[in-house]
Structures are given as structure tokens and as C-alpha cells.
Structure 1
Amino acid sequence: MEWLAEYTMFLAKAFTFVVVVFLIVSMIAALKARSKREEGTLTVVRLNEQLQRMTEKLENAILNKSALKALAKTRKAKAKAKEKASEPGKRVYVLNFNGDIKASALDNLRHEVTAVLELATEKDEIVVKVESGGGMVHAYGLAASQLVRIRDAGVPLTVCVDKVAASGGYMMACIGDKVLAAPFAILGSIGVVAQMPNFHRVLKKHDVDYEMLTAGEYKRTLTLFGENTEKGREKFQEDLENIHRLFKSFVGQYRPQLNVAEVATGEIWFGTEALEKALADEIGTSDQYISRMIHEADVFEVHYVHRKRLQEKLSAGMSAVADRLLLTWASRFHNQRFW
């Protein structure tokens, strides 16, 4: 019995030691993971090599040995000639912006632009694929400012719109030296919208009082639960008109060839119509443009990855679902047609 008691005590001490070590290692791993998550990771993919691998796989499946040998010889000669060139060739950097209502992709875009501008020169080019139906004014204003950084640095900027660049999305797209739009991409919606329900009559019906105290005449113009006044509505409308004026001025600054008064009505146009209105400069998809650039330059796709915790992923997923639902119903209210 004495031996059993000593052995039990030994197991308890060993178990305690293992638990303590496990907790310490877990804490260190958590801190390390948190540090990595905060810093994020910049991934770079050379699209020339990616296309070459796919092409070679297709060639090996289709061509005979003599044809493959001839192709290999031609490619080797081109590569040797490129190596002998005294100056480095043109570089094209491809960035992606998939925007939601809150412009959540803004954080990644900031890091990507900062990194690319450390190397890009006036001989290079930055291609940004924008896909967004717009959202919060301040968020998209900052997102557009990131593309302004590229223009200010003197690096040629091309914006490709494959699906939609409307409202805040077009605020970003218009900054490009060149704007490409797919034939049925949606561009425009140069306008401002704000809406909210008011439950004042419901509360009044159930004898519920609602009080709101402010300092400053226009600290709150419209409210969800209080009784809105005509003066408050007028001030709210005035603020919307001011934002719209700033929006139009911004678009006109970067696209002087555009008749802003004609297109700043909140309407949207499809690719070919957008070209006629000077909202775009060329009809084509980002795939077409980037494939062409691959044959003329070294093309790199740059993406900043910000690792998120599980709850952040779940929250982002729910937010994305909500955004899609809102955009779907907004599209129905605007009588957009789908095939």
C-alpha cells in the first residue's frame, strides 16, 4: 500500500508537470500565432510561370515529340535573348479588391500598395481588379486614396472591372489611367443614398416615451425612435447633397473627359454603354488584359493575407451573407435584369 501511494503521488506530480508545460507551450504558440496574424503575410505569384506550367501540360497532352522539341528550342532562344538584355524588362503588379459594404478588403489593399510602391517605377504598371457595389462613404474614400497613392507615385495604373464597380466601387475605378470594363460589367451609380426606419408612431401607440439629448443643433438630424422634424430632414438632405457634390468633384478630377453632370444621376450602365459615356476606356476582361501583359512583361500577382481567428472568420462570413442579401434586394428594387 505504501508503494502504491508513492506511485500515485509520482503520477500526480508527473501529470501536473505535463499540464504546466502544455499550458506554457500553448501560451507561447498563441502569442506567436497572434504576432503572425497581426503582421500578416505577403504572397507573390509570378503569373508568367503559372501560365507556362498550364501551357506545357496542355502541349504534352496534345503535341508530338518533334513539335515539343521545336517549341522548347524556341523558348530557350527567347529566354537567352532576354537574359542578354541590358535593362530589366517591364514589371506588372496585379492587385485584387473585392469590396463589401464596409470595404473590408481595404486593410489588405493598404499593405499591398505600400509593398508594391517600394519597387515599382514609372516603367512598370499596376493593375487593380475592382469588384464592388459600393458602401460606406468614409471606407471607400480611404480605399480610393490608396489608388491615388499609385497615381501620385507616377506609376501607370490600370483598373479592370469584370462584374461591378458602382458607387464607391466606381470612385476607386475612376482613378485609373485606363479603365477596362467587361461587356456586361456594371459601372456608375454616382450618387448617395441613406435610409432608415422610424418607430416613433409605434412607440407612441404603446405609450413609450423616447428621449434624446444633444449638444449642438445638428448633432442628430434624423433618428430611429424620436419624432423627426422637417428641419432635421432638410439638414440630412443637405448633407447628402454635399457628399454627392464631393463625389462628383472627385470623379471629374480623375476623369476630365467625362461629362459628370450627365452621368452623376445615380444610374448604372453596362460595359459597352459605359464606354460610350466615357466611364470606361476599353472593353475587355481582366483575363484578356493580363494574358496580353504576360507576353510583354513579368507579371506578379500580389496578395496580402491577414490570418483571422475562427470567430473573425464566422463574423466575416455572416457579414458577407448579409451584404449579398442587401445587394440582391437593392438590385431588385432598381429593376435590374438578370439572365
Structure 2
Amino acid sequence: MNEWLGEFGMFLAQWLVVVAVVALLLVMVARARSGGGEERSHIKLEELNVRRRRRSRRLRLAASEPSARKRLAKAFRRDDKARGKQGDADGSPDSRVWVLDFHGDLKASATGRLSEEISAVLDAASEGDEVVVRLESAGGLVHAYGHAAAEMDRLRQAGLSTTVCVDKVAASGGYLMACCADRVRAAPFAVLGSIGVVAQLPNVHRLLKRHDIDVDVLTAGHYKRTLTVFGENTEEGREKFLAELDTVHALFKRYVAERRPSLDIEAVATGEAWHGTEALPRGLIDEIGTSEAYLAERMNDARVIALSIQPRRGLAERLGLSVSRGIERGVERGMEALDASLWQKR
């Protein structure tokens, strides 16, 4: 028995060595390919008309009687042939709708990719084209979303018709971006507005003082640091900090008002947020509806093309992302199971 275990352990060790060598070789090959002057990102284009038509055909074939499927498939081939030079596209080949996506976080981290995608659209778009941005963001840092809004402004400045679709949320910095479009469309329960500025800062000065701990805050410039975490905050510092917030709020209001001149900016710039059906009468949006419904409508008379610029990831990074996603899915499933059990107990 001991001899068998020893042989099995030796075999297992050899097998692990082989796996490690193969993995190392794969990583080296991946690095060699990525290090040859190749771009670190690639552009992805998908014609949504084609995807929709293929899905529709698959459903029609699946729902039809087996005896009718052959005739239906022939009809589809005749339809493709009749399209001729138009190829796979529906609608007018001269009318195009470019679709971009922006999912915002606190730092508006997707702004760099958005700016590249806008540049790509501006290089390829023609007069009469439309750009649809599916936007989702609850806002974040002022300077980060100011940059994102400035990138959105490039579409307007280039003379392209622009529509922002909000299915979930475009609040604060997210609305700063949305207002740059010619039209804003939102789902009935999407959250919009929150035209305001907020800042909060903890202060532990009294706690440190009770324990005889001194913290020196040294500055050059009277207002270099108005409020601090460790030092003693003064009333003058608070007033200056509030004045700075008011300045940012005034810039926010002016930016929105310039792009939506019919909006009663003083009535909506209270920091409140509204759902889509409430935002419409207040002038924050122009129509109610989802992005999917709008794009389906545009497919009737235009080619709808989704554009995204995606980073090229190495083998090690892809493996890391796969593990990370697996863990996330496991946690999500655990939370869903817990939530379902709570409902069952009720």
C-alpha cells in the first residue's frame, strides 16, 4: 500500500510539473503576441438589425410545423437574395444609427473608452446619422463627470443628432452627461435629476484631543485646506467650503440650462431626483420609453450599429477575470438563495 501511494504521489508530482510548464509556455506565447506592437484595444461593431432578424427567423422556424420549415427556410434565402447590394442590412443603407454604452461609477472610469468611441464615430459618421448613448450613472466626482460631459458635447458640436436613453438612472453627474444630447428618453421608473452638489468629511479632532494627541496641519496659502480630518475646523473654513460647493452648483445649473433652455432650472436644481414619468412634465426629459423600444423603432428605417472599443487582455488577465466572475456569480447566487428563503419564511 505504501509503495502504491509513493508511486501515485510521484505520478501526481510529474503531472503537476507538466501542467505548470504548459501554462508557463502559454503565458510566454501570449506575452510575445501582445508585445509585438499590437494595439492594446480593438473595435467591435455589431449591426443590431441583423441580430434581430436572425433571432426572429429562428423563433419562426421553431414555432412552425416541421413540414413548413423547409419552405420557410427557402423564403428566408430568397429574401436575402432580394436584398441585393443592401446585403444583411434592414432599412436605408444611407441612414445609420450608432449606439454607444456608458456605465458610470464614482470616478466615471469609462470616460476614456467613451472618448475613443466618440472619436471613432466622428471619423465614420455622415450627415444625417444619429448617435444613441445608452447611459447609466448615479454620478460621482465633479471633475470626472465634467470630463465625460465635455466628451458628449463633441457629438453636438459636430452636428450629429444625439439621443440619450436612460433605462435605470442618470442622476447628478449622469444627468450632466444626459443633458448634452438633443433628446433625452427615459424609462417610466428611471431616476433622473439630482442637480446638486454634496460633500462630507469626518473629523476626529475632539477624539484625538481627549487622548492628548496633537496633529499639525501646515499649509501655504490661506485657503489651501479649509476643512481637515484630523485638525480643528474653523467657522471660516466651513464658510469657505460651502462657498466652493455653491460655486460648483452654480456651474452645474448653468451647464444644464445652456443645453436645455426651456427647463426651469431653479425649480429642478434642488438636488431632488425624479422618476421618468415625473421628470417628463418638469422638462428634464423629452419622452418616455426604453432604449430597446427606441432602437427597434429606428431599425425600421436605418441601420443600427452598436460600437464599442474593448481592451485586449492577456492570457493571465483573462484567467483572472474568469476566476473573479466565477466568485461573483457564486456570491450573487448565495445572496439570491438567502433572499428567496427570507420570502418563503414570510
TM-score range, shorter chain: 0.7 to 0.9
SS of match in other structure, 1:89 = strand
- Cα 1:36/1:166, change in 2 over 3 Å: farther
Give the counterpart of 2:267 among 262, 271, 274.
262
* Alpha carbons 2:204, 2:230 under 8 Å: kept: yes
Q: Match of 1:114, as an amino acid?
A: S
Q: Match of 1:40, as an amino acid?
A: S
CA distance in 1, matches of 2:37, 2:103: 23
SS of match in other structure, 2:145 = helix
CA distance in 2, matches of 1:246, 1:290: 33
CA distance in 1, matches of 2:223, 2:59: 66
Q: How does 1:136-155 map to 2 (within 5 A)?
A: 136-155=141-160
Which position in structure 2 is the counterpart of 1:40? 41
* Alpha carbons 1:173, 1:179 under 8 Å: kept: yes
Q: How does 1:118-267 map to 2 (within 5 A)?
A: 118-267=123-272
CA distance in 2, matches of 1:220, 1:35: 47
- Cα 1:291/1:36, change in 2 over 3 Å: farther
CA drift of 1:311 comes to 11
Gaps of 5+ in 2: 1-22, 329-346
Instruction: Provide the alpha-carbon RMSD of the alignment.
Output: 3.1
Which position in structure 1 is the counterpart of 2:305? 300
Structure-1-length-normalised TM-score: 0.79
Structure-2-length-normalised TM-score: 0.77
* Alpha carbons 1:40, 1:305 under 8 Å: kept: yes
Using the aligned pairs only, state the percent identity.
48
CA distance in 2, matches of 1:42, 1:36: 17
SS of match in other structure, 1:158 = strand
- Cα 1:34/1:190, change in 2 over 3 Å: farther
CA drift of 1:145 comes to 0.9
Which position in structure 1 is the counterpart of 2:289? 284
The alignment of Structure 1 onto Structure 2 pairs a total of residues equal to 295
CA drift of 1:40 comes to 1.2
Gaps of 5+ in 1: 1-21, 321-339
CA distance in 2, matches of 1:239, 1:209: 28
1:103 maps to 2:108: yes
Q: Match of 1:116, as an amino acid?
A: V
CA drift of 1:46 comes to 1.1
1:68 maps to 2:78: no
SS of match in other structure, 1:97 = strand
CA drift of 1:70 comes to 8.7
* Alpha carbons 2:166, 2:290 under 8 Å: kept: yes
Which position in structure 1 is the counterpart of 2:50? 49
Give the counterpart of 1:79 among 68, 77, 83.
83
* Alpha carbons 2:93, 2:302 under 8 Å: kept: no
CA drift of 1:303 comes to 1.1
- Cα 1:293/1:32, change in 2 over 3 Å: same
Which position in structure 1 is the counterpart of 2:8? none
Q: Match of 2:254, as an amino acid?
A: S
Q: Which moved more, 1:26-35 or 1:88-97?
A: 26-35
CA distance in 2, matches of 1:252, 1:230: 33
CA drift of 1:89 comes to 1.8
CA drift of 1:33 comes to 3.0
SS of match in other structure, 1:90 = strand
Q: Match of 1:30, as an amino acid?
A: R
Q: Match of 1:68, as an amino acid?
A: L
CA distance in 1, matches of 2:168, 2:278: 14
SS of match in other structure, 1:227 = coil
CA drift of 1:148 comes to 0.3
Q: How does 1:6-21 map to 2 (within 5 A)?
A: none
CA distance in 1, matches of 2:246, 2:101: 31
CA drift of 1:68 comes to 2.5
CA drift of 1:39 comes to 2.5
* Alpha carbons 2:47, 2:303 under 8 Å: kept: yes
CA distance in 2, matches of 1:191, 1:312: 39
CA distance in 2, matches of 1:282, 1:194: 32
- Cα 1:149/1:312, change in 2 over 3 Å: farther
CA distance in 2, matches of 1:299, 1:27: 40
CA distance in 1, matches of 2:209, 2:318: 43
Q: Which moved more, 1:68-77 or 1:226-235?
A: 68-77
Which position in structure 2 is the counterpart of 1:333? none
CA distance in 2, matches of 1:70, 1:288: 30
